[in-house]
Every structure is written in C-alpha cells, then in structure tokens.
Amino acid sequence: MAKPYNQVVLFGDSLFQQASQVQDGFSFQGALQNECIRYLDVINRGFSGYNTKNALELLPQIFLPPSPSNPKIEYLLVLLGANDACLPIPTNTQGVPIGQYKENLIKIITHGHIKAHNPKILLVTPPPVDEIQLKELDLSVGHKQATRQAAVSAAYSETARKVAAEIPGVVLIDLHKAIMDKAISLTADFDASGPPLGHPEGKRGALEQLLPDGLHMSGEAYKAFFDIVKPHIGPFPEGQAVFPDWRVLNPGTL
C-alpha cells in the first residue's frame, strides 16, 4: 500500500487560491511546502469568490475523515471573510451578515469532518482592503459604488479575532494587522493621527504595492503573510520524514 503524506491544507477564497502563484519572485504555497518538504504535503483548497456560507455548504465534500487511503490533516489554515464583507448592494450578492459570518466560522472549524483529523487550526483574519482603489475598479465594471468598505472589512477581521479567542486551541494569524503594519512601515509620510491607509478620506500609501487591485495580495504581501505563519508550522523531528534519508538506503556513503 502506498504511504501517504499527511497534510497542511489552505482553506479559503481567492487569497488562498492565488497563494500558489509566483508573484514578484515569491510563492506563499511554494515557501510553505519548502518548510514541510518530505514531512507534509501542502494542499490548496482556495476557491475564488467563496464566502463562509459557500465554504460551509461544500465542506463535507471537500474534507473527508482520515482513513488508510485519505491522509490526515495536521494543519488547517482557514482564511475566509473578504467576500463575506461585501456590501449588500443590488449588483453583488456575496456578502454575509457579520453575525452569520461569525457563526459560520465557528461551524467550519468545529465541523465533525475537521475534528476527525484533530488538526492544529490557524485562523487567519482577512487582510485590509484599499477602498480607494476598489471603488475605482468597481465603478469601472458597472457597480454604482464600491463593493467593499475598508471599515466594514476591518470589522470582519475583528470578528475572526474574536472567534480565534473563543475556540480553545485555535491559533490566530492576524494577517490584517501584518499587512497594515507593513504598509505603514513602507509609507514614509504616514500620519498616525489621520485616517487609516486605504480609507476613502485618506490615501493608499504602500497598500498600492501590497494590494495592487485593492483586494488581492502581491508577492510582497504574501511574504509578510508567510512570515507570521512560519513560526506555527513544525518543527519536524530530524530523521522522521515519511521516507528514509538516502544515506540510510545507501549505507557506507560519505
């Protein structure tokens, strides 16, 4: 029987779907796989456009209980909320009310198909949005207003923080804070007494390079994401990879 590798699973929306891409010379999924090489497989289950309602409905088809032919999930990263935070406007139906968003997140990370694997769960806050850029792009494709607001998206990130604090054993990965901190550090003339970056009454600052379309992340932003995830993966015991080291298979070789 084939010997399966256990898994690190990235479960979420386009922010995980696009994590497989190489941008600016960096791939989040590639970097994470490099950390886990020979110990775990990194599996991407990012679905562009999904909200927590969609993810919860399809979860039983996406995750099966562990079995001899179905690898165990050792780590589960959940990143959902960027689409839940869409405004309830006539031209967009992705939004999920914030109370329902919280309930859905809890149901996802406590679902029986997830608990069967007993993974280490890393709950990721949705990153900030650059409402200034989003409004321009949304208007250009026919919306009458921006589909998302920076302040509303920040409230969904705060809700994810609360869920992580309420569920024992869940690790918070505060991507919203990491991206904002990075943007502030790269914006030479940032004024902390003024409006936050990306808010309509303020300016884009370095969010322009971290969130090029106002929503999705650049390679530099994914690198900042990886830096806060990496400490929570491993360490892996030397000599206990799934398959033996080549020196074990070829004894006597220097």
- The 10s digit of each residue's pLDDT in 92-102 is 999 999 999 99
Rounded Cα distance, 184 and 120, in Å: 31
Query: What one-character DSSP code corresponds to residue 232?
Result: G
**pLDDT tens by residue, 142-154:** 888 889 999 999 9
Q: pTM to 2 decimals?
A: 0.95
Which string of DSSP letters, residue by residue, matches 161-197?
A: HHHHHHSTTPEEE-HHHHHHHHHHHH-TT--TTSPPT
Please give the structure tokens belonging to residue 186: 């790269």
Alpha carbons 189 and 54: distance in angstroms, whole number: 41
Q: Contact at 8 Å (CB) between 210 and 220?
A: yes
pLDDT of residue 253: 78
The string of pLDDT tens digits covering residues 4-47 is 899 999 999 999 999 999 999 999 999 999 999 999 999 999 99
Average pLDDT taken over every residue of the chain: 95
- Reported as a pLDDT band with limits 50, 70 and 90, residue 1 is low
Q: What's the CA gap between 178 and 107, in Å, rounded?
A: 26
Angle at 152 between CA 176 and CA 78, to 5 degrees: 45
Of residues 248 and 122, which shows the higher confidence score? Answer: 122
